[in-house]
Amino acid sequence: MDDRNVDLSLICRVQARLCALPLAHVVETMRPLPVEAVVGAPHFVRGLAVIRGAPVPVVDTARLLGAQDAPADRFVTVNAGERRVALAMGSVLGVRAVPAGSLHPLPPLLHEASADVIAAIGLLDAELLLVLHSARLLPEDVWAAGDAPGAAA
């Protein structure tokens, strides 16, 4: 296998969906931590958790992808640009090599609805795979609200 055409990804399950996070963006996985709700946060943001001594937004990945609430067995912390986000996931399946040639851009019909969240789609073991954009999981206005003094209070 040609390593130049393969990206390592953390493969996670979110209800019936299989998701991939480029390993270069993954910081760590952990058991879920307590989350403090934040008034005015988007519906897919559970709130803030204290991770390694810092407040980190927790995104409910099921809600982000348009599904119903689901219990999270794991948090996956990812780099989102210069910041960190914790993704509440159903389960973490492991690290897999995802051949770049197996990934495709979103079809035009879905581009408007999902381009901010889904970077590409593909198949992994004959199952639909959604590759998530870690840098675009939270809109800039949500970051601004969370950075405001007293926002976590």
pLDDT in tens, the chain (153 residues): 444 556 899 999 998 889 999 999 999 999 999 999 988 888 899 999 999 999 999 999 999 888 887 788 999 999 988 889 999 999 999 999 988 888 888 777 666 556 678 888 888 888 899 898 876 666 666 655 555 444 444
In order of their start, the domains of the chain are 3-142 (2.40.50.180)
How much is the pTM? 0.81
In angstroms, what CA-CA distances link 34 with 4, 25, 122, 127? 40, 23, 33, 32
DSSP code, position 33: -
Strand partners, 9: 22, 96
Phi, psi of 25 (to 5 degrees): -95, -15
